Amino acid sequence: MDGEMAKEIERKFLVINDSWRDCVTSATAMRQAYLSVNHDRSIRVRTSNDETAKLTVKFGKTALVRDEFEYDIPFEDAVEMISFAVGSVIEKVRYTVEIGGFTWEIDVFEGAFQGLVIAEVEMRSEDDRPMLPHWLGREVTGDRRYSNQALATERLKPEVVHAVSN
Amino acid sequence: MDGEMAKEIERKFLVINDSWRDCVTSATAMRQAYLSVNHDRSIRVRTSNDETAKLTVKFGKTALVRDEFEYDIPFEDAVEMISFAVGSVIEKVRYTVEIGGFTWEIDVFEGAFQGLVIAEVEMRSEDDRPMLPHWLGREVTGDRRYSNQALATERLKPEVVHAVSN
């Protein structure tokens, strides 16, 4: 079984420069789309490196802790389902960086969201205090405008995408 | 991979008596719920015999032909997701009967929908003409009140459930 149930606990920041690039341990090109978005749940499909794909069901209103169910699905299924996207298809490259025992994911957006770079760290509990590297800008944890779901399904807000350079 | 993409082509009827029970080849107790229902798509979770489970994503407005993606998921995931049901949880026993090279599925509903019995035959093409056994009543193909989705997510209509006996 590929299923996985997880509580997501994470903090999210804008990224103000490129110095994290020296420490990258992996890079994955992602395309993702939402199949359904309701007030307390979303269904997302995502391809990675044009090879693998996952279907993810998320429940819960708060960004900090949510129920998440994720399944590997055939890549070809994902490509077809992405054609049924609600809103925009998100294209980004996700880089990972390891700092002080925590894994940071840095999403560099392309296409309509070019210019937007967001870093996320996943914590084991809400009490974790990961070290915050100097290339982080403003914290946007809980600011739903910076969720992939809001980017994909709500009207594009240029001030969100270009928040770093302003 | 457990994924499966299929075009569904089927006809659906009410059932007017129990004579099909002599020919049953399988029986499966099912619980199912919808996680999301939008105008042209639905996401459903279903358990079978309290052992296995599937997650199904359907696209398309017409009942006769739809795109369907279905994945095996862990039973425990399904139980938890069913707690997030939109509308009612449907409980039914699905029996199968083989007639003239076609498989009929007879759903005997329980709980809130007790009294409702629906037979469906899946066809290989829209030109197929399966023999119609004498225990069939009114055809309800395309009558969306008899879809599991409508039963689960719309207000219960007693005239639908008790259509046979009236």
Q: A121 vs B155, which has greater pLDDT? A: A121
CA B89-B91-B94 angle, to 5 degrees, is 140
- In this predicted model, what pLDDT tens digit does every residue of A85-110 receive, in sequence order? 999 999 999 999 999 999 999 999 99
- CA–CA min distance A74, chain B (Å): 6
Does pLDDT of A36 surpass 70? yes
The mean per-residue pLDDT over the stretch A42-47 comes to 97
What is the Rg, in whole angstroms, of the alpha carbon atoms belonging to chain A?
Answer: 15
Domain assignment present for residue A57? The answer is: yes
Nearest chain B residue to A4 by CA: give it.
Answer: B77
Is A71 among the residues known to form the active site?
no
- CB contacts of A69 in chain B (<8 Å) are 73, 77, 80-81
Give me chain B's average pLDDT, please.
88
> Into how many domains does chain B fold?
1
pLDDT band for position A124 (50/70/90)? Answer: confident
- CB contacts of B74 in chain A (<8 Å) are 1, 3
Quick check: A58 and A46 in contact, CB under 8 A? no
Predicted confidence at residue B112, as pLDDT, reads 84
- Whichever domain contains B153, its CATH number is 2.40.320.10
Domain assignment present for residue B116? The answer is: yes
Domain assignment present for residue B166? The answer is: no
Contact: A72, B38; criterion CB under 8 Å: no
Give me chain A's average pLDDT, please.
88
- Work out how many CB contacts closer than 8 A connect A with B: 60
Predicted confidence at residue A101, as pLDDT, reads 92
Is the pTM here over 0.90, yes or no? no
Domain that holds residue A39: 4-161
Contact: B35, A55; criterion CB under 8 Å: no
Sheet containing A117-122: order of strands: A4-8, A66-73, A52-59, A41-48, A24-38, A86-99, A102-109, A117-122, A10-15, A136-139
Residues of chain A that touch chain B, judged by Cβ-Cβ distance less than 8 Å: 1, 3, 5, 35-36, 38, 41, 43, 55, 57, 59, 67, 69, 71-74, 76-77, 80-81, 84
Domain assignment present for residue A166? The answer is: no
Q: B156 vs B34, which has greater pLDDT? A: B34
Domain assignment present for residue A149? The answer is: yes
The mean per-residue pLDDT over the stretch B5-10 comes to 64
Predicted confidence at residue B22, as pLDDT, reads 93
Q: B57 vs A160, which has greater pLDDT? A: B57
Predicted confidence at residue A2, as pLDDT, reads 42
Predicted confidence at residue B166, as pLDDT, reads 40
Domain assignment present for residue A141? The answer is: yes
The mean per-residue pLDDT over the stretch A78-89 comes to 95
pLDDT band for position B4 (50/70/90)? Answer: very low
Domain assignment present for residue B21? The answer is: yes
- CB contacts of A84 in chain B (<8 Å) are 41, 59
Domain assignment present for residue B109? The answer is: yes
Q: CB-CB: which of B36, B69, B73 is closest to A36?
A: B36
Predicted confidence at residue B31, as pLDDT, reads 97
Cβ atoms within 10 A of the Cβ of B158, count? 9
Predicted confidence at residue A26, as pLDDT, reads 97
Q: CB-CB: which of B3, B36, B38 is closest to A74?
A: B3
- CB contacts of B57 in chain A (<8 Å) are 35, 43, 55, 81
The mean per-residue pLDDT over the stretch B20-46 comes to 95
- CA–CA min distance A34, chain B (Å): 12
Stated as kind and residue range, the H or E segment containing A52 is: strand A52-59
pLDDT band for position B86 (50/70/90)? Answer: very high
Lowest mean pLDDT among A75-79, A160-164, B104-108, B119-123: A160-164
Q: What is the ipTM of this complex?
A: 0.80
Sheet containing B52-59: order of strands: B4-7, B67-73, B52-59, B41-48, B24-38, B86-99, B102-109, B117-122, B10-15, B136-139
